[in-house]
Chains A and B, each alone.
Chain A
Amino acid sequence: MKVSKEELLHIAKLSNLILKEDEVESYLLNLQDILNFADIVNEASTEGVQETIGANSNYNVFRKDEIKEFGNRDILLQNAPEQEDGMFKIPKVI
């Protein structure tokens, strides 16, 4: 699959990443290289083969929806770049 510069910029936007001009060029080359290599999966015969979504047997694991208090809010907030009154602080959105 051939990747265009526009496509790469679209993907970067979806990923919430900004690429500098020199990065665009090198990432385009890398992505193309890797995708050319990855294309080999399309040679495998997979008609009717189920997809594997995890390494262990596929089943749902249920548990009771019980609240367990962590108990130390301050220590959780301590890693926030900005906080106020026990809340994470972000710029105004409306």
Chain B
Amino acid sequence: MNLTELTVHELKEKLNNKEITSQDIVKAYVDRINEKEPEVKAFITTLCDEALEQAKKIDEEGDYSSFKGIPIGIKDNINITGVKTTCASRMLENFVSPYDATVIEKLKDEGIINLGKLNMDEFAMGGSTEYSYFKKTSNPWDLNRVPGGSSGGSAAAVAAGMAPWALGSDTGGSIRQPSSFCGVVGMKPTYGLISRYGLVAFASSLDQIGPITKDVRDNAMLLNIIAGHDEKDTTSENIEKKDYVKALKNDVKGLKIGVPKEFYGEGINPEVKKALETAIAKYKELGAEVEEFSMDVAKYALATYYIIACAEASSNLGRFDGIRYGYRTKEFSNLKDIYKNSRSEGFGAEVKRRIILGTYVLSSGYYDAYYKKAQQVRTLVKNEFSKAFEKYDVIVTPTAPTVAFNIGEKSNNPLEMYLADICTVPINIAGVPAISVPCGVDSNGMPIGMQIIGKHFAEETILNAAYTYEQNTNFKENKPTFKK
């Protein structure tokens, strides 16, 4: 039995039955990381020794309640006390976090063990993890392809069995798109369901932490752990605590599914479209009611997203000045030089591009034409989702227009890279939840993902829809091949 192939609920059952120990699990993962890291390159920091030590302690105590003894991987923009948070940037190469993010506190309260920090695009800006300052992560299904991004390390680690589950963050698709590319399950919860305290901010009105897992049940379990109001994040909503595992009913009879035709048009790869059509037919067979509809404002969503996200990023990243933390230039004679040279040397090309774009759309003379206009279009996008959800329980689209592309294919063309987010960004603009679940492979054996979108705080509905699909199909049985 290979423990790294099991889901967390399977591991948990074996732990509870005393068939295995926490040390068995953590050792299996440490071995797997040592074996696969040279080709997958998913981790920026590994905490293998610390993890083994913690597992030993838990086994000695013999208490496996909550999630004691289960390991996890964390995207490297989420703070853990005493561990580096690099954001895959030269700017934070040596930054050691003085505190835990709220989601980390919650994981620690459950007795969950950290295996390490996972690679990403620098400051979560990108869709391929190629913009990491440290390394390019490979897709476990084909090592010449990208794992997607920006949570590419998290998705690749889960797909490769180097972590049983992981946390990512999603500003415009950064959990869902890599989950789709790597054949795993990833959710961006409703904005405000999860505290962002301790997540390094990219675009504060869009960022949300979420779970990346091997299957839908694990996804619901991890969401149970991390969801909840936090006084340290005033945008986290104070809503009643739910048990998302209880929502998994394996039944979609009467579920009203809306299929927006704009998400199946130009730019969508025919094999992706075919897989989605087959998945939708499956839902009909399972008793769901499917209807096609039009979402007219979808065409404005990507531009709106890049205006708003870059504007917020240009403001958020103003704090990196080489004074209190982060990279400081060697070349300076006055304070202004420290700011300018530290930022110019510490940030990578894509981050600088987005700061410049963001500063441009906020600058006097262009504010009305871009930023204000985008904020108004954001209202239109939100309204259109609200209108759609008066009729439908969920909306189903592809997660990404294509399967994982080759490393290097888009890294020199920013606009083309942005187009990979076309199906996911509208969801962040509206603030609603969405989950990506595997729904097939293309002719090269690369995974395809289906995105299921729900109303505000209707995570239960999208989890059940994803679960029912997963239970009635067998895509979960496809395993990455580490093709060279």
| Bound CA span A25–B353, Å | 12
Report the minimal beta-carbon distance from B410 to chain A, rounded to whole angstroms: 13
Report the minimal beta-carbon distance from A10 to chain B, rounded to whole angstroms: 8
B339 and A16 form a contact (CB under 8 A): yes
Report the minimal beta-carbon distance from A55 to chain B, rounded to whole angstroms: 3
The closest CB in chain A to the CB of B383 belongs to A49
Contact with A along B331-359 (1 / 0, CB 8 A): 01111001111011001010011011101
Contact with A along B121-155 (1 / 0, CB 8 A): 00000000000000000000000000000000000
9-residue interface stretch from B57-65, B160-168, B297-305, B466-474:
B297-305
B303 and A40 form a contact (CB under 8 A): yes
The answer to whether residues A41 and B379 also contact, given A14-B363, A16-B343 and a CB cut-off of 8 A, is no
B interface residue count range (under 10 / 10 to 19 / 20 to 34 / 35 or more): 35 or more
| Bound CA span A11–B386, Å | 37
A6 at the interface (CB under 8 A from B): no
B-side contacts of A23, CB under 8 Å:
349, 352
| Bound CA span A34–B347, Å | 20
B289 at the interface (CB under 8 A from A): no
| Bound CA span A77–B237, Å | 32
A81 and B376 form a contact (CB under 8 A): no
B322 at the interface (CB under 8 A from A): yes
A50 and B379 form a contact (CB under 8 A): yes
B192 and A78 form a contact (CB under 8 A): no
Among residues 291 to 324 in chain B, which have CB atoms less than 8 Å away from a CB atom of chain A? 297, 299-300, 302-304, 306-307, 314, 318, 321-324
Give the interface centre of B303, B307, B327, B363 by most chain A CB atoms within 10 Å. Answer: B303
A51 and B379 form a contact (CB under 8 A): yes
The closest CB in chain B to the CB of A73 belongs to B98
A interface residue count range (under 10 / 10 to 19 / 20 to 34 / 35 or more): 35 or more
The answer to whether residues A15 and B414 also contact, given A30-B353, A56-B235, A88-B323 and a CB cut-off of 8 A, is no
Contact with B along A58-94 (1 / 0, CB 8 A): 0001010000001010011011111000001011010
Interface SS of B by simple majority: helix
Among residues 6 to 59 in chain A, which have CB atoms less than 8 Å away from a CB atom of chain B? 7-8, 11-12, 14-19, 23, 27, 30-31, 33-35, 37-44, 46, 49-56
Of the residues A11, A53, A61, contact of B356 by C-beta under 8 Å: A11
The closest CB in chain A to the CB of B206 belongs to A55
A80 and B340 form a contact (CB under 8 A): no
The closest CB in chain A to the CB of B302 belongs to A37
A51 and B235 form a contact (CB under 8 A): no
Report the minimal beta-carbon distance from A65 to chain B, rounded to whole angstroms: 13
The closest CB in chain A to the CB of B204 belongs to A54
B324 and A15 form a contact (CB under 8 A): no
B1 at the interface (CB under 8 A from A): no
B283 at the interface (CB under 8 A from A): no
Report the minimal beta-carbon distance from B123 to chain A, rounded to whole angstroms: 14
A54 and B314 form a contact (CB under 8 A): no
A-side contacts of B372, CB under 8 Å:
51
Report the minimal beta-carbon distance from A87 to chain B, rounded to whole angstroms: 11
The answer to whether residues A18 and B300 also contact, given A8-B356, A11-B359, A56-B431 and a CB cut-off of 8 A, is no
Of the residues A15, A38, A63, contact of B370 by C-beta under 8 Å: A38
B369 and A50 form a contact (CB under 8 A): no
Among residues 202 to 242 in chain B, which have CB atoms less than 8 Å away from a CB atom of chain A? 205-206, 231, 234-235, 237
B-side contacts of A54, CB under 8 Å:
191, 205, 235
The answer to whether residues A63 and B231 also contact, given A44-B297, A72-B98 and a CB cut-off of 8 A, is yes
The closest CB in chain A to the CB of B372 belongs to A51
B373 at the interface (CB under 8 A from A): yes
A-side contacts of B352, CB under 8 Å:
15, 17, 19, 23, 27
| Bound CA span A54–B207, Å | 11
- Cβ contacts A to B, 17 pairs, < 8 Å: A1-B366, A17-B347, A18-B341, A30-B415, A38-B306, A41-B370, A44-B297, A50-B379, A51-B375, A52-B379, A55-B235, A79-B96, A80-B325, A90-B323, A90-B338, A91-B335, A93-B335
* 20 new A-B contacts at CB < 8 Å, known A41-B300, A78-B96, A80-B324: A16-B340, A17-B340, A17-B356, A23-B349, A33-B414, A35-B360, A42-B369, A44-B380, A46-B377, A52-B378, A54-B191, A55-B192, A55-B206, A55-B430, A61-B235, A70-B99, A81-B325, A88-B323, A91-B335, A91-B338
